[in-house]
A and B are shown apart, each in its own frame.
Chain A
Amino acid sequence: MTGNAESRPTALDRADSRVRHDAGMSGAVRGFIDRIRSGDLGSLPVVVGLVVICTVFQSLNPVFLSSRNLVDLLFDSSTVGVISLGIVSILIVGEIDLSVGSVSGLASAIIGVLWVNTGWPVGLAIVVALVAGCVIGLIYSALFNRLGMPSFVSTLAGLLAALGLQLYLLGATGSINLPYDSPLVDLGQNWIMPHLVAYALVLLAGIGIFITGSRRAAQRRAAGLTPPAIAGILARAAAFVVVVEFVVWYLNQDRGVPWMFGLFVGLVVGMDYALTRTKWGRSMLAVGGNREAARRAGINVRRIYQSAFALCATLAALGGVLSAARLASASQQAGTGDVNLNAIAAAVIGGTSLFGGRGSAYSALLGIVVIQAIASGLTLLDLSSSLRYMITGGVLAIAVIVDSLARRSRVSHGRA
């Protein structure tokens, strides 16, 4: 392969002799170290954090890494994970939504009232809940775009208003139980992928990674740009398949992979495509990076903010629907407590910057697993919620500190 490359004229992107081009395995390692040193941490803190968390909790309580506990962890991750995915979208444009917890609680209240109390079909109730979330997001964006209200304040006000609406809807009873034999609760509590389906989906994903990677390599070669090495693509796809199939196998020792988690992962993959491969996603990152530059480039900045706020609140509502399904109830407690903070913390821990312009959909997935692992470990240790809050708060603080330090280092290494 190298001989073939040398016989060609120099590729367009290899003309500058000042740049070291890392090739092969050692090059990949060197490039990785360079990136880390300059503060481009990517998902490294998450991986390190997960290893530490697993080691600590496993040594304190051997149940922690059991298949059974991990399956429960995936169920719990999916609900807040979906909310966190919305937070990723709003953080990318450099704004914040502090009301996602209340909006998710409001959505579960709408499900309870419309579906159980009023007798509407469950599908329609879900649609109404999602539309309610979307409308809330549109209100925030209108306040932000038209009145210049900082999202920090408008969503803090929205937090109270949505919570109030949730309590009003639930009324005196305060809690509505959802029917256990319904498909929604089934999804939230025990709907599991058949084992073979889970294996097949992972394999398909691996093949997909390889095919898109090699097609991209072929396009680049045809266009006279240096293609990534096929061997590297193959290695990455194979590693993905082996690792994830192992995880699936381990989960299958108990019940298996929850469909709800599958839904969450599907949303993450879709969001990742939208953020990295579409004009909309590019515009989101541009607005988060330099709003004025985006405006001058002809991007409709208001529309982008609008889409980010609406998407965030809609996903928060979807997370509320899923958590209602998970708990089989719509209660006054839904969406309160640490839901808000967990969703934001997950996005930040996963590597989405609070300062805008940087982030990926996968940070919601990685971050929520970390957050839920901590929550699950602390629950297994039978610690009181007072301690749980303090520890989770500490972890969030550390995540933000890592983000700030990495950002400073990126600036000094010219990577912004």
Chain B
Amino acid sequence: MTDATERMPPAGEIVLSLRKVCKQFGAVSALTDVDLDVHAGEVVALVGDNGAGKSTLVKVLAGVHTPTSGTVTFGGRQVTLNGPNDALSLGIATVFQDLALCENLDVVANIYLGEELGPFALDEVAMEVRTWQLLGELSARIPSVREPIASLSGGQRQTVAIARALLRDPKLIMLDEPTAALGVAQTAEVLNLIERVRDKGLGVIMISHNMEDVRAVADRIVVLRLGRNNGIFYPDSSNEELVSAITGASDNAVSRRHERRHVQRPNSGGGTS
């Protein structure tokens, strides 16, 4: 194919790589031998049907669940994530689907929640300045950082949640359904935001059910099905391929062959470089 060179892994080095990660809840295998690589400056979309294991995978990376087996390598070192704080201190930030913002607090308070400067005499000025900087880096348009979150729109709240994730200077940011429940304009804003985060050189993992959004920003699309890798696709893959990989509706020789070809491509590309 003509675009083989374009399919090389992005210039950035590998931030995160999972090898043969399994997670079992009793008799249920939520994840089986899952492999995943994320490079710096790359947006990886994680797609799959309900129950495919996306959220479990995110929770494993966020330190909420510990994997039953398999290795997680982050920044070249093999790591174990025993709790949310392990993940945070390594530089893995997560923006959860429900954003987890306190509506009664203002933007500054939310961004610095749990990280306040000056525990016995809050340094409001320094926190406000840094907040404006973070929002500026994201070219975010928040009218006032001293208004409670309740007065912001869905897209603005997503912005605040992402800015909050960026506060600790993470190397990898995971977004769970960042565009669910957003309007057209807000969705576009959030997608722009994701691109800006990528351009800052961060690795981005994005979970979404919306194929349009996925195609719009993702550099690679990793499909999970029933807790297993079910192919790696690119934004220009046809919808049919993608949907059949997600649903398994055409789980036959043709789709498997397709899948093999796509999986092999990045490896061969990496070999030539």
Contacts and interface: CB of A to CB of B under 8 A. Distances in A.
Interface of A: 12-13, 16, 18-19, 216, 219-220, 223-225, 277-280, 282-283, 285-286, 288-290, 292-294, 296-299, 357-358, 410-411, 413-416
Interface stretch (B10-18, B113-121, B228-236, B257-265): B113-121
Dominant secondary structure at the A interface: helix
Contacts of A277: 121-122
Contacts of B125: 216, 219-220, 223, 225
Interface string B162-187: 00000000000000000000000000
11 contacts: A18-B141, A19-B143, A19-B144, A223-B125, A279-B119, A290-B100, A290-B103, A298-B88, A357-B104, A414-B152, A415-B148
A292 B143 contact: no
A216 B128 CA distance: 13
B102 interface: yes
Contact of A12 (B98, B129, B149): B129
Dominant secondary structure at the B interface: loop
Nearest to B102: A289
Contact of B122 (A279, A286, A290, A414): A279
Interface of B: 84-85, 88, 96, 98-105, 109, 113-116, 118-122, 125-126, 128-129, 132, 141-152
B151 A414 contact: yes
A19 B146 CA distance: 12
Contact of B149 (A279, A280, A299, A416): A416
Contacts of A416: 103-104, 148-151
B209 to A, nearest CB: 22
A13 B100 contact: no
A297 B109 contact: no
B142 A16 contact: yes
Contacts of A297: 100, 113-115
Contacts of A292: 98, 100
Nearest to B62: A296
A346 B72 CA distance: 55
- 10 shortest interchain CB distances as A-B pairs: A416-B150, A297-B114, A289-B104, A293-B100, A289-B102, A357-B104, A414-B151, A279-B119, A416-B103, A298-B114
Contacts of A220: 125
Contacts of B103: 289-290, 357, 416
Contacts of A18: 141, 143
A13 B145 contact: yes
A290 B161 CA distance: 14
B168 to A, nearest CB: 10
Contacts of A289: 102-105
Contact of A294 (B102, B132, B146, B150): B102
Contact of B119 (A13, A224, A278, A414): A278
Given A13-B144, A294-B114, 14 more contacts: A225-B125, A225-B128, A279-B122, A282-B109, A285-B105, A285-B109, A293-B101, A294-B102, A294-B113, A299-B113, A357-B102, A358-B104, A410-B150, A415-B151
A101 B8 CA distance: 72
